[in-house]
Amino acid sequence: MKPISPDCVVFYTVSQCYVYAANHLPERLPFNAKDDTFLPSIERLNELQSLLDHEYLADKKSLLIVVPDAWLSVSEHQIKHPLSKKLAPLAALAFASESTFAPPNEIFFHHHVTKLNKDLVQLHVVACSKMLMDCLSQPFQADNRCCQLISQQQWDAQSTRRFACYLLSRQGLARYQPEEDKRRETRHRWSAFVLMSVLVHGLLLGYFYYLTDEQDKQRVAQRQKHTQQLVLPTQGTVFVTRFLTILRALPHDVRVSALHSEKDTASARLTLTAVRLQALLTQWQQAQPTWHWQVSSTSPQGASTGVSEDALEVMHVELLVSAR
């Protein structure tokens, strides 16, 4: 049975039905469920249900019904061999059928397995017949409400914990539905597969971006290293000093492979795109309008300036600069 998040809890007693909002439960219940030692008659249950505030219940979508242990079949059985997840519900159903005197297809039950030692387990079973389940839940079934039923013992074991109502709804009495269990297991497997797939793809994507970033860093580092390996003169004329300042300010995507200077003349070999060359030439001519700028291509194609080539094509040029 699918767990719910109940917004209302109904407590049955032999004298009254107590209804509380799930988020406003009292610290102590105003009754002792252990005083109810027998199951009331159908007429008495109908009488209790007639006193319910149906206007208050009208906007409630899910309910958790708690009934005294004496109204249900509660039993414990010690088994001298391990119980698998598939075998445990079958064993619980067999014990429930013996205690409720109902056929297996008309039994609602919940079971819990506790391992006592290596070869001994204890099977706890709470069960009731379909007739009793229908009788107890009938006044709450209107408007497609979700109802789940548990014993007072189950409530006492969990009620002090956080999210108790949701946890208890997972222990509601339900029919034996092996096909539903298979579907639930299949859903869990697919959910785990999808989660693992998303995780793996996320890791691969993160690793790809990491490698791309590292590759860019290495490319920049190699350009800087190559530039640093050039023997730049530490002293020279004002012209040479200004020309070196221009070279040091070059963008990272421009590579300087050689440099030569003499008094009022300097040359450098550059690797860059045509569009970058055109932009730099315009910038340099505006900054130093009195200098003479000459560009010649050293690419295998042998173009004169390379500016007419594809704007994104990387080219090799020699820049010759002289002071007029």
Mean pLDDT of 126-154: 88
The yes-or-no verdict on residue 211 having pLDDT over 80 is yes
Whether residue 42 is found in the same domain as residue 108: yes
Whether residue 161 is found in the same domain as residue 256: no
Whether residue 79 is found in the same domain as residue 17: yes
Whether residue 19 is found in the same domain as residue 98: yes
Cα(271)–Cα(199) distance, integer angstroms: 42
Cα(237)–Cα(271) distance, integer angstroms: 26
Whether residue 147 is found in the same domain as residue 269: no
Cα(228)–Cα(179) distance, integer angstroms: 72
Q: Is residue 195 part of a domain?
A: no
Q: Is residue 108 part of a domain?
A: yes
Residue of 287, 297, 288, 279 whose CA lies nearest to 324 = 288
What percent of the chain clears pLDDT 70, i.e. is strictly above it?
86
Residue 123's domain comprises: 8-179
Total number of domains constituting the chain? 2
pTM of the model: 0.56
Any bridge partners for residue 171, and if so which? none
Q: Is residue 223 part of a domain?
A: no
Whether residue 141 is found in the same domain as residue 272: no
What percent of the chain clears pLDDT 90, i.e. is strictly above it?
31
Whether residue 242 is found in the same domain as residue 149: no
97 — pLDDT class (breaks 50, 70, 90): very high
Q: Is residue 274 part of a domain?
A: yes
Q: Is residue 169 part of a domain?
A: yes
State the chain's mean pLDDT as an integer: 83
212 — pLDDT class (breaks 50, 70, 90): confident
Annotate 228-297 with DSSP letters as a single string: HHS---SS--HHHHHHHHHHHT--TT-EEEEEEEETTEEEEEEEEEHHHHHHHHHHHHHH-TTEEEEEEE
Whether residue 102 is found in the same domain as residue 169: yes
Q: Is residue 219 part of a domain?
A: no
Neighbours of 96 (CB within 10 A): 27
Question: Can you give the CATH number for the domain in which 280 is found?
Answer: 3.30.1360
302 — pLDDT class (breaks 50, 70, 90): very low
Q: Which of 179, 195, 220 is the last residue of a domain?
A: 179
- Decide the pairing of beta strands 17-21 and 120-129: unpaired
8 A C-beta contact, residue 102 and residue 130? yes
Among 205-214, 250-259, 273-282, 298-307, the minimum mean pLDDT is found in 298-307
